[in-house]
Structure 1
């Protein structure tokens, strides 16, 4: 039956080609929307996911990573005093303004970390070392900021809140979901530079759990001990940040709607093509019935046509997607392709194509072999 379905598709090459293009368009759009969404979500929690630490202590009712508020620095000592906490580090995330070399201001997101431990700082350097921000007005800029801040080189100076900072390193792979350039510098410098934070406040405390202790059990201990702050495991805080951008900003709904529309378009294209093909070959199907074939045999032919379109459309779309990844990166977008997303898209393609075949099946049910003897 698979061979018969293939022969039917090859009989009208133009129509089959147009159908395949429709499937490729729909599946490629689904790939793109899923990939870009996952890329945006990875960007939204990139520092959380790449910072060595098991537990994040944040301000009370903090909605996500980028908009956490300061809390008293003594919380850091309380975290260290809890049994099962191996070590802890303070981290500041704050919004600021940087003066461009040619004039004008640009909003940036500053990350203040301890250069001695590197916790919360850049984990992948293109030029320089993450410890170079120590003991001075020094900063590290991620290479993704070049589009917004210009071609910054090591040794250049930029003014942040009337303080001249020297660029001592270029990091890579640290893009912000908010599109604001990320600037890394020392914890003490940010604390003194941004007066609204206060000299005795921090924004995050990141704790490492001692071997042999459960992260969840230490989270519960900290929740009981600490007042006025929230405590999350790293995975929970990452998930909370991603859900905030997905749900509260409408980003998730927008991507879901586009995927749904692509799915429906693919169903309409394939359904229309297979239905027209079924109508055109109605006498041939009637002949098969007259020769002893039952409805199930005919159904297999129709489903085989849908399956062929789904598999070929999916494979072509996957190749197009893989080729497109560096193109998206060149435009400061990140498209993520994972093996499990490939399986999900394959499943959607199969459901899309096989579901569209049901319209033709209803037509086949009513075929009377006597159609062969009618004029």
Structure 2
């Protein structure tokens, strides 16, 4: 039956090619939208996911990583006092302004951390070292910032929040969901830069528990002891940040709508082609039934056409998607291509094409072998 289905598709090569292109377009758009959406979600929580720590203490009702509010530093002392906390670090995330060389300003996201431990700081350095941030007005910028800030070299100076900072390092892989360049400094310098915070405030406390301790139990104790803050596991705070950007901003709905439309367009293209092919070969199918073929035999032919279209369209779309990942990166975007994403899109592609074939299957049920003798 698979051979018969292939012969039917090859009978009209132009129509089959147009159908295949339609499937490639629809599946490619699904790959594109899923990949970019997942890339945006990973970007939104990239610092949380790369920061070594089991527990995040945040301001009360904090919705995401980028817009948390400061709280008193004594919360840090209360956190580290828990007997099952191995270590804890303070982290500042705030917004500021950087002055361009040619004039004008850009908004930046300032991340202040402890250079001695590196907790909350960059994890992949192209140039320099996080330890260079100590004891001075020094900063590290991510390479992705160069699209907004221009060419930046180690050793040059930039004015940030009316303070002159020297660039001592270039990091890699720290892209912000908000597209604002990220600037890393020491915790103490970040406190001085962000004047509204005061000299006794922090935005996060990131804690690591002792081996064998229960994260849930430690969180329960901290929630009872600490007032005016929230306590999350690293995974929960990462997911909370992603949900905020995906749901509350409408980004997730926009991507989902595009995926649904692509799915329906692909189903329409495949369904119309298979249906027209079925109608053109209606007498041949009647002949098969007259020779003893059952409806299920003919169903297999139709579904085989759908599977051929699905697999060819999927393979070509996957090749195109993988080959364009670098182009997205060059454009400053992140497109995620993962094994589970590929299997998900494969399932959607098969569902799309097999679902489209059901229209033709319903038509086959009513075929009467006597159609051979009609004019």
Helix, strand or coil: the match of 2:17? helix
Partners of 2:163 and 2:353 in 1: CA distance: 61
Partners of 1:263 and 1:113 in 2: CA distance: 45
| Alignment pair present for 1:215 and 2:218 | no
Deviations, residues 114-156 of structure 1 (Å, cap 9, x unaligned): 1111111111000000111110000000000001000000011
Partners of 2:214 and 2:134 in 1: CA distance: 34
Q: How does 1:100-179 map to 2 (within 5 A)?
A: 100-179=100-179
Q: Which residue of 1 aligns with 2:353?
A: 353
Q: Which residue of 1 aligns with 2:202?
A: 202
* Per-residue deviation, 1:363: 1.0
* Per-residue deviation, 1:7: 0.5
Q: How does 1:219-258 map to 2 (within 5 A)?
A: 219-258=219-258
Partners of 1:134 and 1:361 in 2: CA distance: 71
| Alignment pair present for 1:292 and 2:292 | yes
* Per-residue deviation, 1:162: 1.3
Q: Which residue of 2 aligns with 1:273?
A: 273
* Number of residue pairs aligned between Structure 1 and Structure 2: 375
Partners of 1:69 and 1:117 in 2: CA distance: 23
* Per-residue deviation, 1:83: 1.6
Q: Which stretch of the first structure deviates more once superposed, 210-219 or 285-294?
A: 210-219
Q: Which residue of 2 aligns with 1:82?
A: 82
Q: What are the ranges of 5 or more consecutive residues in structure 2 without an aligned counterpart?
A: none
Partners of 1:216 and 1:343 in 2: CA distance: 33
* Per-residue deviation, 1:160: 0.8
Partners of 1:268 and 1:252 in 2: CA distance: 24
Q: How does 1:19-98 map to 2 (within 5 A)?
A: 19-98=19-98
Deviations, residues 248-303 of structure 1 (Å, cap 9, x unaligned): 00000000000000000000000000000000000000000010001110000000
Q: Which residue of 2 aligns with 1:328?
A: 328
Partners of 1:13 and 1:84 in 2: CA distance: 69
Q: What are the ranges of 5 or more consecutive residues in structure 1 without an aligned counterpart?
A: none
RMSD of aligned residue pairs (Cα, Å): 0.5
Partners of 2:219 and 2:7 in 1: CA distance: 63
Runs of 4+ residues over 2 Å off in structure 1: none
Partners of 2:154 and 2:257 in 1: CA distance: 44
Partners of 2:38 and 2:289 in 1: CA distance: 49
Partners of 1:111 and 1:231 in 2: CA distance: 20
Partners of 1:163 and 1:91 in 2: CA distance: 20
Partners of 2:267 and 2:330 in 1: CA distance: 33
Partners of 2:161 and 2:367 in 1: CA distance: 79
Helix, strand or coil: the match of 2:120? coil
* Per-residue deviation, 1:341: 0.6
| Alignment pair present for 1:368 and 2:373 | no
Partners of 1:217 and 1:2 in 2: CA distance: 59
Partners of 1:84 and 1:116 in 2: CA distance: 22
The TM-score normalised by the length of structure 1 is 0.99
Partners of 1:217 and 1:356 in 2: CA distance: 52
Partners of 1:79 and 1:59 in 2: CA distance: 14
Partners of 1:162 and 1:289 in 2: CA distance: 84
Partners of 1:316 and 1:217 in 2: CA distance: 50
